[in-house]
Amino acid sequence: MPEGPEIRRAADRLHEQLAGRRLESVWFAFPELAAEADSLMGREVTAVDSWGKALLTRFDDGRVLYSHNQLYGVWKLHDAEREPDTERSLRVRLTAEGRSASLYSASDVSLWPADRLAEHPFLSRLGPDLLTHGVTPEQAMARLTEPRFARRRLGGLLLDQAPFAGIGNYLRSEILFFAGLPPTARMVDLNAERQARLAQTILDVTRQAYEQAGVTNRAEWAADAKRQGESRRLCRFAVFERDGRPCHACGTPIERLMVASRRLYRCPSCQPG
């Protein structure tokens, strides 16, 4: 399941394909949107960004196309004259100056005035996006120490999209490892130094995953794992999916737990309970 960094990278690709160009063709499979298609003709795509797992395509008249890929949705980028090779069901197609972006298989798509996005039933439940909204370490720490979050165990809290949008299962394990915290830790029980370290780690690990296409491991650890013949999937992580393998930092076998009904990986020595 893609997490915030993967969705942000998809937004970047859509932005490169469409932004700064005027729409010459708009097609929607959904009847309620099809009626709006003509009103978007000639509009310029000003930006494409993300909020959690939602993609937001912004137009110069102040409207925003909200789309959520859910489990099966996928955007395909292509020349307007060349149809993608797929058997998926087309849901949305935007064409601007010879370039097309086609959304397949998704069902959660809607058009919103930008100033009403906060009323969207999904977005209204999300915290700020760690990659889109310019969250600072100070803001991250302040949010985590809010009364509604401070007494919750981090293993569950980090998957809740209310503090921050975009953290999923692999990021949760990697963040806790690099922060040196077990999933049972709570912000209220940490001193200011460890709170600040967690806030900075959340930002650093998420940013690295975005910049390095899902890689959260340290470069030297990944290189060593590669020399030992590990797959790229294993090399890219410090602890996630590495159960039974030695911790890169201390050699202790990584363990797998179930926390908040999702698998979590940790080093018992580096993240003592």
Phi/psi at 97 (5° precision):
50, 45
Query: Of 3, 6, 182, 236, which is the active-site residue?
Result: 3
**How many other C-beta atoms are found inside a 10 Å radius of the C-beta of residue 87?**
5
Q: Is 246 a catalytic residue?
A: no
Taking the mean position of all CA atoms in its chain, how far away is CA 177? Answer: 19
Q: Is 262 a catalytic residue?
A: yes
Query: Of 88, 262, 263, 268, which is the active-site residue?
Result: 262
Nearest to 94 by CA among 17, 12, 13: 17
Query: Hey, which bits of the chain come out as E strands?
Result: 23-28, 45-51, 54-59, 63-68, 74-79, 90-96, 99-104, 108-113, 255-259, 262-266
Q: Is 82 a catalytic residue?
A: no
Phi/psi at 199 (5° precision):
-60, -45
Q: How far apart are CA 166 and CA 203, in angstroms?
A: 11
40, 126, 222, 228 from 48: Cα distances, Å: 15, 18, 32, 40
Query: Of 8, 53, 58, 172, which is the active-site residue?
Result: 53
Phi/psi at 171 (5° precision):
-65, -40
Catalytically annotated residues: 2-3, 53, 262
